Structure 1
Amino acid sequence: MVKVKICGLTNREDAFSALEAGADALGFIMYEKSKRFIKAIDVRQITSQLPPFVTKVGVFVNEDPRKVLEILSYAHLDFAQLHGDEPPEVCDYIGANRVIKVFRLKSVEEVEKIGPYVGKIRAILLDTFSKDSYGGTGKTFDWKIAKAVKETFPEIPLILSGGLNPENVSLAVKEVEPFAVDVSSGVEESPGKKDREKVRAFVKAAKCR
């Protein structure tokens, strides 16, 4: 069954609502320029109260890898989701088993860009390309590209993101068959504030095929 990550969480209430809805992973944006930014100390307060077996992810954009490791430890996070232009060496420094690398591919021809990261990352996350933003755009990712990535790198878990919502996630799962789906803006009332009913509907649609 596909896993579900609810990203862009900024408060305890939304984090626990996501878990109650059936989410498998929670994402926290550690990038200060994001509308969904949350301080490490606030993430720590949330993660310290979570039950066991919940996957906790910190999202970083072109951050110093030493600081990434510090925040992962301090905030009790399991994975670093690298959403910027981080080279393979940065992934290697942080640790292959702890890195989810985001790729914002514009075409099937760009799938080869993932090659140098093989063996240095735990999972691939595909998000919609935008020259003005590192994610959270709400624009739908091209599923044709996603299928090409899965065929080219079948050994690496694929996480699908980009414009997913309760209305289209079921079809996305059927078409791409990813390891997991990731959503932020698609289940929000406003940036950083989740809509409980949308979260519940998203998880249900993703997992019930």
Structure 2
Amino acid sequence: MHTRIKFCGLTRAEDVRLAVELGVDYVGLVFAPHSPRRLLLGQARMLRDLVPEEIAVVALVMDNPRSDIEHVVESLQPDLLQFHGSEDDALATSFGRPYWKAIAMGGQDESVFASLSDYPGAHGFLFDGHAAGEQGGSGQRFDWRRMPTSADKPFLLAGGLSPENVGLALRTARPWGVDVSSGIESAPGIKDAEKMRRFVDAVREADARG
């Protein structure tokens, strides 16, 4: 068993270097307009240059103007796009990159899963604890037992994960991957090296136990 790990909202070179050293699968760079972790393109290119080919770079957007997303794709050449807003499948597929669609679980009932069929072009889904229209990276949890028990596409669990609880999250939800931001931070956008290491260790320990 190999749970994919995505560290999201990285803003500093030292944090990207440690993520690479720890062997995470995905590095997430944020371009959502109102996020405290939002990067300028120049910053993002510098960080992107630190990521080797075997680790995928994910560009996160949330209702950004189309021209902004085009500039991100052209300048950054991300491996994946991650959409957190009201973007539809036609828009998300139009940039020539695989994409994940974030599903806000906060305050939602089971009908939220019906919306997955609205994104036939998605390469995967990310279930996050925030409410619809809110920013990700807020550290809000939802009931992991609500995760789908089967899915025809990869799904990632996000929202309120930490080194202390990710093992339980994996045993409960059995996701394809986990996405963490605030749970490995000392402040928004400032990652904590010890928490980063402990998070990866906890995931690998849970994987080893099956």
TM-score, normalised via structure 1 length:
0.91
Take 1:94 and 1:145, find their aligned partners in 2: how far apart are those partners? 32
**Which residue number corresponds to residue 13 of structure 1?**
14
Deviations 1:16-74 (A, max 9, x none): 11122231110111123111111111111121232221110111001234432331231
**Which residue number corresponds to residue 26 of structure 2?**
25
The one-letter amino acid paired with 2:83 is L
Structure 2 counterpart SS, 1:17 = helix
The answer to whether the 8 Å contact 1:28/1:57 transfers is yes
The count of aligned residue pairs is: 203
Take 1:200 and 1:7, find their aligned partners in 2: how far apart are those partners? 15
Q: CA deviation at 1:88?
A: 1.9
The one-letter amino acid paired with 1:22 is G
Which shows bigger deviation, 26-35 or 186-195? Answer: 26-35
TM-score, normalised via structure 2 length:
0.90
The one-letter amino acid paired with 1:25 is Y
**Which residue number corresponds to residue 76 of structure 1?**
77
The answer to whether the 8 Å contact 2:33/2:62 transfers is no
CA RMSD of aligned residues (A): 1.6
**Which residue number corresponds to residue 117 of structure 1?**
119
Residue 200 (str. 1) matches residue 201 (str. 2): no
Identity level (%)? 31
Structure 2: gaps spanning 5 or more residues: none
Structure 1: gaps spanning 5 or more residues: none
The answer to whether the 8 Å contact 2:51/2:57 transfers is no
**Which residue number corresponds to residue 135 of structure 1?**
136
The answer to whether the 8 Å contact 1:31/1:61 transfers is yes
Deviations 1:113-147 (A, max 9, x none): 111112x111100101336722111111221221x
Give the number of the structure whose residues are more often strand, by fraction. Answer: 2
